[in-house]
Amino acid sequence: MSSQEPLLELRGVHKAFGPVEVLRGVDLTVRPGRVTALVGDNGAGKSTLIKGIAGIYPFDEGEYTFEGTPVNVKNPRDANALGIEVVYQDLALCDNLDVVHNMYLGRELTKRGMVDQDSMEARARETLNGLSVRTLQSVRTHVAALSGGQRQTVAIARAVLWNSKVVILDEPTAALGVAQTEQVLLLVRRLADRGLGVILISHNLNDVFQVADDIAVLYLGSMVATVDRADVTQGQVVQLITTGTYEGREAAATNGEIR
């Protein structure tokens, strides 16, 4: 694990909906320059955890720390103000708008009371170039004409446009072909290489093992392990996802490989 100070830390967070406790004392650490894959079976609590970080479902209990300072994130505006951006699986893009207007949707730049088209286009190009995006021919192309991988690229670029520090990606390669998946995973890696903290939610362990540095496993609302990707096999992660433990875990824990 990197020695850098964490960007985001959760300690002992709980979330319940009525009598149903969805998150039970969850810990999570996200460091700059690292991709943390969040994995777990359906119903493990991944979506609730992410929505809690994003301020959609504020946590009931626990400590939420950002850049070493305890914070109270009550809504998505609070999370955005910290530098936390979420790219949800539905991408929330408008087909009838071009790339520039999708990247600035709801946050348009203005000059003398008018939308500043030139500045928006220049910053959109700068952001895409900074991420080494080469798959878009024009930032004035309508989203309706883009492939699935290109749409995902636009959504990710929009997330980093606002000087974000933590980017959360919800199943970014779902329904993509092999070539498009490779493009998106390269982009995920570039985010971390730029010093951002990246949380990747994915059911695809091949993707996880290709791009993640750390793997955090949720099981029935509890964080059962956070492991360095190099210290586990896919089979062991599958066991953690399905049973909450894996054969040989006690020995690994003794050696400090499981946190």
Question: How many domains is the chain built from?
Answer: 1
Residue 143 placed within a domain: no
Residue 168 placed within a domain: yes
Element (H, E) at 114: strand 114-115
Mean pLDDT within 54-75: 96
CA dihedral 202, 204, 208, 211 (to 10 degrees): -100
d(CA 61, CA 42): 23
Name residues whose C-beta falls within 8 Å of residue 189's C-beta, 6 or more positions apart in sequence. Answer: 35, 211
Taken as a whole, the chain contains a residue count of 259
Residue 25 placed within a domain: yes
Mean pLDDT within 165-173: 94
Residue 170 placed within a domain: yes
Residue 216 placed within a domain: yes
Q: What is the pTM assigned to this prediction? A: 0.88
Residue 142 placed within a domain: no
pLDDT digits (tens, 9 = 90+) for 185-218: 999 999 999 999 999 999 999 999 999 999 999 9
CA dihedral 227, 229, 232, 234 (to 10 degrees): 120
101 has pLDDT over 60:
yes
Residue 173 placed within a domain: yes
1 has pLDDT over 50:
no
Q: Tell how far CA 189 is from the center of its chain.
A: 12
CATH number of the domain within which 167 lies = 3.40.50.300
250 has pLDDT over 60:
no
Mean pLDDT within 49-63: 96
Range of the domain at 202: 8-93+163-254
Residue 139 placed within a domain: no
